[in-house]
């Protein structure tokens, strides 16, 4: 990881190496934390912009509400802290990680009156699944680990504890020579990946998993809107992995993954085995949006300079 100079820690900018917590921090033992993944992009006009900053900040607050974490900041204060941290580190483009977590206090599952701490870190980060993946696509496998039932973990909270499920799926996929895991829900339908939402294209129709067992991805929502604005039919419906096998195209979306094609699932080639025409069109449109080249979506960008 490329470090930066400062991390925002409970409202103050502190040097990177001094942003530390105690080993008995509650979240370290029990996963009692919520976080966001956000990106900032260099724009065509010379400024930089955070993509859908307000929506990400609000989702952090919502995740805290679901987990009964009383985050001592508003969404607006989190958004302001993100811009402050980017400017302090003179980061024109990169990844942003806000995290709120139950801190040091009583031990045990019940967090009691332990404080809730909040940090914001930023760093340079390229394509999550590799730059070549954006064109060539990646290989995925169906995981042996199911995505959690909606009443075991709260699927609408982006909580740290939920990601143990994702870690297991990702390790399994990587150790078997794949780039990513496709996870099924507890009924056997395609859910999402270890950290991305999934789309498929068949006969000109774009399908994506409905918001049942999946996190409501902000990039997912954005791609759906852009696709519909381009005239595509987008359906949110359940589908099976064998329907995914015979798709013309498939791709993942997410803040980290952006819009990454899938060229193979379970050793079955998807479509032509690389980014298809619909995927390429949506990729181009998406990157035009995040880089400020499409004024129609200007409200999705929070610009800053330093």
Residues that are catalytic? 158
HEC readout, the chain: CCCCCEEEECCEEEEHHHCCCCCCCHHHHHCCEEECCEEEEECCCCCEEEECHHHHHHHHHHHHHHCCCCCCCCHHHHHHHHHHHHHHCCCCCEEEEEEEEECCCCCCCCCCCCCEEEEEEEECCCCCCCCCHHHHCEEEEECCCCCCCCCCCCCCCCECCCHHHHHHHHHHHHHCCCCEEEEECCCCCEEEECCCEEEEEECCEEEECCCCCCCCCHHHHHHHHHHHHCCCEEEECCCCHHHHHCCCEEEEEECCCEEEEEEEECCEECCCCCCCHHHHHHHHHHHHHHCCCCHHHHHHEEEECC
| CA 229 centroid distance within chain | 23
Query: Could you identify the residue written with the tokens 């959690």?
Result: 148
Give the Å distances, CA to CA, from 19 to 11, 107, 120.
Answer: 12, 22, 10
Beta pairing partners, 236: 208
Which of 173, 131, 135, 129 has its CA nearest to residue 261?
A: 135
Residue 195 contacts residue 214 (beta carbons within 8 Å): no
């Amino acid at each position: 990881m490329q470090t930066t100079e400062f991390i925002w820690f409970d409202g103050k900018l502190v040097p990177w190496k001094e942003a530390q917590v105690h080993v008995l921090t509650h979240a370290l033992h029990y996963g009692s934390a919520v976080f966001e993944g956000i990106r900032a992009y260099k724009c065509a006009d010379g400024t930089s912009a955070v993509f859908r900053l307000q929506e990400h900040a609000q989702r952090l607050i919502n995740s805290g509400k679901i987990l009964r974490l009383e985050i001592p900041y508003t969404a607006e204060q989190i958004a302001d802290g993100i811009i402050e941290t980017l400017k302090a580190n003179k980061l024109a483009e990169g990844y942003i990680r806000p995290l709120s977590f139950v801190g040091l206090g009583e031990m045990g599952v019940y967090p009691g009156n332990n404080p809730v701490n909040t940090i914001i870190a930023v760093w340079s980060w390229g394509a999550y699944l590799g730059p070549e993946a954006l064109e060539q696509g990646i290989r995925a496998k169906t995981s042996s680990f199911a995505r959690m039932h909606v009443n075991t973990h709260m699927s609408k909270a982006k909580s740290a504890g939920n990601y143990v499920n994702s870690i297991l799926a990702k390790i399994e996929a990587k150790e078997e020579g794949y780039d990513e895991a496709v996870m099924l829900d507890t009924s056997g339908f395609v859910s999402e990946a270890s950290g991305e939402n999934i789309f498929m294209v068949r006969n000109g129709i774009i399908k994506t998993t409905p918001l049942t067992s999946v996190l409501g991805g902000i990039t997912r929502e954005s791609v759906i809107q852009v696709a519909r604005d381009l005239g595509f039919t987008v359906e949110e419906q359940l589908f099976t992995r064998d329907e995914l096998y015979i798709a013309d195209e498939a791709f993942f979306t997410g803040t980290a993954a952006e819009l990454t094609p899938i060229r193979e699932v379970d050793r079955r080639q998807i479509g032509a085995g690389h980014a298809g025409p619909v995927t390429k069109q949506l990729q181009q449109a998406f990157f035009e949006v995040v880089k400020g080249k499409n004024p129609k979506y200007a409200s999705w960008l929070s610009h800053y300079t330093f």
